[in-house]
Structure 1
């Protein structure tokens, strides 16, 4: 618990944490509500959505879907960057040496960082839900729509959001440990989340085995889980796997990423 508190304090006072959270909240509001609202009120709807689809996407009762649909690609990339920076910066600044020399064992230190990142991710998903709910209520009130608050089924997209965010966090931690630095970890993570998997999907239209593989890759599994809980209509959201299958793949990735990162952190030299 001491390690968790120490890491939380570090991340809380770290400007990068707040910058990334702010960027994500601006993105989710812009793509989830601002653009849709402008398209609904005389703008050009380039995504081919009908008026009813735009209204449904901005309704307060559908806020759970609004939260989860942004996480397979852009939201996941931001969470991955935060995790990679949190782990990799300790190597780049040399703070891991100081911490482990004067403080806890490696496993305890790693658990502290993972615990702190887990708390921040939960808070981020909760904050995203609250901000999206406020935006949807504002839009519905301005337009005079009949609206209602989300029902009990909202737990499905929220749990899916947490699982997707946990997978991207584990991926960022893994890259931070593998590369022993923040810059390369962030670069590799962004390239994978935004570029590589999309290119593989393009190749998959020509090669069947590649197409099957893309469905179960980290981004593909996240996109399929988002699609299974109603998060369609955003880049990276897919409908190729059942929600249960996608969730199992995500759990597997979390175990592999976190387990491998922890093992390497314990066994390898810090230099």
Structure 2
């Protein structure tokens, strides 16, 4: 397992996908969680919309970074992490590298477990980079606007990075499993994004009108992700916050659902890879 983990770490470092996904996500968070709101803040009339400006600025200062930087993960960040997971397993089929790796090194179980474990480490690194970039951006905004520049507590930052990592790992694991199940990237990406961005949103919207769908919404990946971010203090979508942030589940329930997705996805990837011919 140690050799498999070291091999997967080297492999991920040699490939551009974590840099592309991580870089794209960092830019998206800075642009949509800080850049666009700051532009809106700048164009609001100080004479007639002072309360709105103050409320908006409060979300952009360093003290609010833990909630603000994590608020985009439930919907947009999750989709990118799903793409990362698919790109970690799907291309192995197109490149015909599974056969050599499964026959000349560690077992299939070790390789799959190591691949997902390395993916989880990558999501943690991305979460740390996003949090650091968000803190810097908020500090600059606070300096420019003469707002408080006090940093959030270490506990709040750790909770934010931990929540972001758990959400990202769950989505990444689902993507990795889809890449194995569909033996490639195209169908896996189509199914994953259709499910997470289309089907889940449709069910979530209908659940408000059809009570029979409430149990289904409670175990959806997006609901758990949004509920966990909401526990950090981020305003929900219904309160005018980021799309995908909800408060349908408690913090513990959201964590259980996310862990369950990661575990089930890993089990599925293991079962499929062990029981069928890779070639």
- TM-score range (shorter-chain normalised) is over 0.9
Asked whether 1:244 is paired with 2:252, we answer yes
Give deviations 1:118-140, integer Å, cap 9, x for gaps: 21111011111111111111111
Asked whether 1:110 is paired with 2:118, we answer no
Q: Is the contact made by 2:34 and 2:60 (CA closer than 8 Å) also made in structure 1? A: yes
* Separation of aligned partners in 2, 1:246 and 1:112: 25
Match of 1:58 in 2: 60
SS of equivalent to 1:146: coil
Quote the RMSD (CA, aligned, Å).
Answer: 1.7
1:21-32 aligned within 5 A: 21-32=22-33
Asked whether 1:16 is paired with 2:9, we answer no
SS of equivalent to 1:58: coil
Match of 2:37 in 1: 36
* Separation of aligned partners in 2, 1:257 and 1:115: 12
Shift of 1:180: 1.2
Q: Is the contact made by 1:67 and 1:158 (CA closer than 8 Å) also made in structure 2? A: no
Give deviations 1:163-214, integer Å, cap 9, x for gaps: 1111111111111111111111111111122111111122223211113421
Give deviations 1:102-154, integer Å, cap 9, x for gaps: 22211121122122212111101111111111111111111111221111331
1:252-263 aligned within 5 A: 252-263=260-271
For structure 1, the 5+ residue unaligned runs are none
Give deviations 1:71-95, integer Å, cap 9, x for gaps: 1110011011011111111112111
SS of equivalent to 2:59: helix
* Separation of aligned partners in 2, 1:29 and 1:253: 28
Using structure 2 for the length normalisation, give the TM-score. Answer: 0.90
* Separation of aligned partners in 2, 1:181 and 1:84: 8
Q: Is the contact made by 1:87 and 1:176 (CA closer than 8 Å) also made in structure 2? A: yes
Q: Is the contact made by 2:82 and 2:175 (CA closer than 8 Å) also made in structure 1? A: yes
* Separation of aligned partners in 2, 1:10 and 1:231: 36
Match of 1:172 in 2: 175
Matched length = 267
* Separation of aligned partners in 2, 1:202 and 1:118: 30
Shift of 1:43: 5.4
Q: Is the contact made by 1:80 and 1:169 (CA closer than 8 Å) also made in structure 2? A: yes
For structure 2, the 5+ residue unaligned runs are 46-50, 236-240
Shift of 1:216: 2.1
SS of equivalent to 1:22: helix
